[in-house]
Structure 1
Amino acid sequence: MAAGAMNERNLFGLLALLLSLLLAGCAPGEEETPPLAGASIGGGFTLTNQDGERVADTDFAGRYRLVYFGFTYCPDVCPVDLQIIGQALRQLEQNHPEVAARVQPIFISVDPERDTPPVLKEYVAAFHPRLVGLTGTPEEIADVAKRYGVYYMKEEVEGASDYLVNHSRIALLFGPEGEPIAIVPHDKGADAIAEEIKRWVK
C-alpha cells in the first residue's frame, strides 16, 4: 500500500477518534454528587408553624427545603441572613420561576421560649411570603437541632433582663425526600445563593 494512502487512512482514523471524543464530551454524563450526599444530617420532625399548626417534615415532601436556624430576637446576624435568602428567592422567582417554585424556605427557631407562633408570624413575613417559621417545645427544638447538626446556647446579657442565643450560622439545602444536598453560601450574597440553588434543584 502506498505511503500516501496509509497516511490518509491514519488521518481519517485520527479524525474519527477526535470526533468520537468530542461527541462523548457532549453526551450527558453522570450527575454531579452533592457535597452533603450521604451525610448524617436532617431527618424527621414535628413542630409548630407561625399559624399555630403542627407541621411535620413529611408535609414538605416533593419540595427542596432551604433550612435556616435562628431566633427572632437576634440583633443582627439572623435578619441579615434571612434578608439575603429572601432576595435570592425573589431573584429566582423572577428569572427562574420553575426552580423557585420547587424550593420551600424554612426558618426554625432556637429560642422556643420567646418565639411563639404570633411572634414568628410577624417575623417571617418581613423576609419572604413563603417563608415558614417553625417553633416547638424546648425538647422538640433540641431534638431537631441535634438532627440537623446545629449548635445553640442561651447566653445571659450582663446588666440586662433579656438574653441572646449563640447558634450556628448555617443554611442547608435538602432534596425532595429530605436528603441533605449542600450548605448554601448565604454569607456570599443573594446571587451566590441563587446560583447554588439552581445548581442542585432539578
Structure 2
Amino acid sequence: MASTRTYALVAATAAVALIGGTFYATWGGASDLFADCRAGTGPGLADALGGPFTLVDGSETAVTDADVITRPSLLYFGYTNCPDVCPTDTARNAEATDLVQAEGLEFQPVFITVDPARDTPEVVDQYASWMHPDMVGLTGSPEQVKAAADAFKVYFRPHEADDAFYLVDHTAYSYLVLPGHGTVDYFSRDTTPEEIASRSACFIRTAAAN
C-alpha cells in the first residue's frame, strides 16, 4: 500500500511541476476567462492536459472524447481492484457530482481504468454504476488506455504479479473538463467534495455565460 501511494505522490508532484512550467512558458500574462474560478492553477491548463482519445464504454462501443465529454465532466484515472485510493477518490467525486447537480447544473463523473487487463467493459460499467448512476466507466486496449493517460499526464505502472491481486501505481488527480474548453482545472486527493463542487460550478456558470 505504502509503495502505491509513494509512487502516485512522486508522479503527481512531477506532473504538477510540468503543468506549472507549461502554464508559465505558454501563457504568461494572457487573459483568462476563468480567472475568478481558479485556485492557483493559472490559465493554459487546456493546452497542458487532455486531448483526443478513443476508449471503450460499458456496452463495448468505441467512444471518443467528443462522445464522452458532452457535458461538464470530472475525469479520474484508477482501477477497480484498487484497495483504498481509487474507491475513496471516486466516492468523493460522486459526492461532488451530487452537490453540483443539486445546483441545477449538468455534471458527470468519468472513471477511466489504468488496468485494462482486468477491467473489461462489463467490469468498469458495473463499478461506475455502483459509484454513481451518472458515472461513465471506460476501458480499452492497453495502447488506448496509455494514450488517454498520457494526454492527461497520468503516470501508471502495474506491479509484476503472478496472481489476480497485483497493484497498479498511478497518479491520483481528478480533471474538470468542459465541452468546448477542454481541461480547465484539476483536483488533488485532499480536495473536499464541497471545494470541487464550488470550483466546478464556477467554471460551468462562467462557460455558460460566455
The question of a shared fold, defined as TM-score above 0.5 by the shorter chain, is answered with: yes
Q: CA deviation at 1:188?
A: 2.7
Aligned equivalent of 2:55: 47
Greater Cα offset, 42-51 or 54-63: 54-63
SS at match of 2:190: helix
Alignment equivalent of 1:183, drawn from 168, 181, 186:
186
Q: Would the aligned equivalents of 2:121 and 2:139 in 1 still touch at CA under 8 Å?
A: yes
**Structure 1's 197 and 52: CA in aligned 2 closer, same or farther, altered over 3 A?**
same
Alignment equivalent of 1:106, drawn from 99, 105, 110:
110
Deviant stretches of 4+, over 4 Å: none
Matched residues in 2 for 1:161 and 1:117: separation? 18
Matched residues in 2 for 1:40 and 1:123: separation? 29
5 Å-filtered alignment, 1:110-129, equals: 110-129=114-133
Greater Cα offset, 142-151 or 35-44: 35-44
Q: Would the aligned equivalents of 1:43 and 1:147 in 2 still touch at CA under 8 Å?
A: yes
Which letter maps to 2:100? L
Matched residues in 1 for 2:90 and 2:157: separation? 20
Q: Would the aligned equivalents of 1:152 and 1:166 in 2 still touch at CA under 8 Å?
A: yes
**Structure 1's 164 and 199: CA in aligned 2 closer, same or farther, altered over 3 A?**
same
Q: 1:32 aligned to 2:34?
A: yes
| Sequence identity percentage | 35
Matched residues in 1 for 2:92 and 2:109: separation? 12
Aligned equivalent of 2:23: none
**Structure 1's 110 and 77: CA in aligned 2 closer, same or farther, altered over 3 A?**
same
Could you tell me the TM-score, scaled by structure 1's length? Answer: 0.76
Matched residues in 1 for 2:129 and 2:42: separation? 30
Aligned residues: 168
Which letter maps to 1:140? Q
Once the two structures are superposed, residues 99-151 of structure 1 have per-residue CA deviations (whole angstroms, 9 ceiling, x without a partner) of: 2x1x2321110000000011112111111111101100001111111111000
Q: CA deviation at 1:93?
A: 2.2
Could you tell me the TM-score, scaled by structure 2's length? Answer: 0.73
Aligned equivalent of 1:4: none
Which letter maps to 1:113? A
SS at match of 1:126: helix
**Structure 1's 36 and 52: CA in aligned 2 closer, same or farther, altered over 3 A?**
farther
Aligned equivalent of 1:67: 75
Aligned equivalent of 2:153: 149
Q: Would the aligned equivalents of 1:67 and 1:172 in 2 still touch at CA under 8 Å?
A: yes
Q: Which consecutive unaligned segments of at least 5 residues does structure 1 have?
A: 1-29
Which letter maps to 1:52? E
Matched residues in 1 for 2:154 and 2:183: separation? 14
Which letter maps to 1:72? T
Q: 1:172 aligned to 2:178?
A: no
User: What's the RMSD between the two structures over aligned residues?
Assistant: 2.0
Which letter maps to 1:147? A
Matched residues in 1 for 2:51 and 2:42: separation? 14
SS at match of 2:149: helix
Greater radius of gyration (CA): 1
Matched residues in 2 for 1:172 and 1:36: separation? 14
